[in-house]
Amino acid sequence: MNFWKFLLFLLALVVGGYLLFWVFGILAGLLWYAVIIGIVALGGYAGYKFFLSGGGEEKPPQLEEKKPVGIAEMQNLDRALEEYKRNALDK
């Protein structure tokens, strides 16, 4: 009778180990899916914020006007020419 109890104990131990590994696998799989879904959601949120809503700013900063440099300088040419005439011709 002790032999059968020992076999039953070993069978319960093996089935319990399988059950433990099964539960661990289910939890690890769920955690992995949560990480992947979180990464995809973070990428979607960042993509929406930066590409569709204008990057969170009303107007993106610009270094210069969109005019070519020559045209931008010609607008101030008349004022610079008048100033040069006053300074150079008076002397």
- Judged against a pLDDT cut of 90, whether residue 17 lies above it is answered with yes
- Pairwise CA distance, residues 61 & 56, whole Å: 12
Domain ranges of the chain: 2-89
pTM: 0.47
Q: What is the pLDDT of residues 45-90, one digit of tens each?
A: 988 888 876 555 566 656 656 666 666 666 677 777 788 888 877 6
3-state secondary structure of 51: helix
